[in-house]
Chains A and B, each alone.
Chain A
Amino acid sequence: MEIKVLGPGCAKCKATADLITRVAAETGKPVTIEKIEDMRQIVSFGVMTTPAVVMGGKVVHKGSVPSHDQVLSWLN
């Protein structure tokens, strides 16, 4: 499963990527996380507020670090 984390490389973006990695490990789901930090690329998804998460062609979250349960629901 490919997941994109959009953000300029701030602490919240790192926390988002780390959380997804951790939850994926807990559930045994194989994920590939791609961090997108370039502003033009971030906005190319129509996103203004970061961190944002893109999964399966959808922006599933933006503007904050997601919760553990949110990440769990995306992976299931």
Chain B
Amino acid sequence: MSDVVQKDLAEAREVCPTTSQRLLKEGALLVDVREPDEVAQVGFAGCEVVNIPLSQFEDRWQEVPRDRDVILACAAGVRSLKATYFLMYQGYTRVMNMKPGIDRWVQRGFPITGSAEAVGGSAAASSCCGGTAEAKPPPAAAACVCGDGDVTTASACCGGAAQSKSSCC
């Protein structure tokens, strides 16, 4: 089918919705990889966002700019992590994954289109980077626990988001 070059991919940078908000205000682009029917129910708003469904991502990844920060997002951060790694495979360096995704975004009261009732995540989850049925958190993020507005553990929050200096989650 095709010659393949296996590449050693570094661990993807992951950012929580709150950190994402800051980065988006600073000019990052949000790429929502959820499918159109999901986006129609509830979508990200208040920022520059494009929708490239994961099912079309292999054909449309070139639409993602290389010269600015890009945050990939989905419902809980699993599909978008796959897309993040795919872009890293393609040589992108300014990409990061929002974890969790729109479920937590909605819980935080950030701007949306559609209905907040459409999100499927567990509102009861209190730990950052987890709390959804989509997948368990990766080891790097498993230890992070962030309360609302509590910055005491920000350095450990959301894996690669440790570089961020603002409050997390």
Q: Taking beta carbons and an 8 Å cutoff, which residues of A are in contact with B?
A: 39-40, 43-46, 48-49, 54, 57-62
Contact = CB atoms under 8 A, between A and B. Distances in A.
B84 to A, nearest CB: 9
Contacts of A59: 1-2, 4
A49 B58 contact: yes
B105 interface: no
Contacts, number: 48
B31 interface: no
A-B pairs, top 9 by smallest CB distance, nearest first, are A43-B85, A59-B4, A48-B58, A44-B9, A60-B1, A45-B4, A59-B1, A44-B7, A46-B89
A54 B5 CA distance: 11
Interface of B: 1-9, 11-12, 54, 57-58, 81-83, 85-86, 88-90
Counting chain A CB atoms within 10 Å of each CB, the highest count among B6, B81, B83 belongs to B6
17 contacts: A39-B82, A40-B9, A40-B12, A40-B85, A43-B9, A43-B85, A43-B86, A44-B7, A44-B8, A44-B9, A46-B4, A48-B82, A48-B83, A49-B58, A57-B3, A58-B2, A61-B1
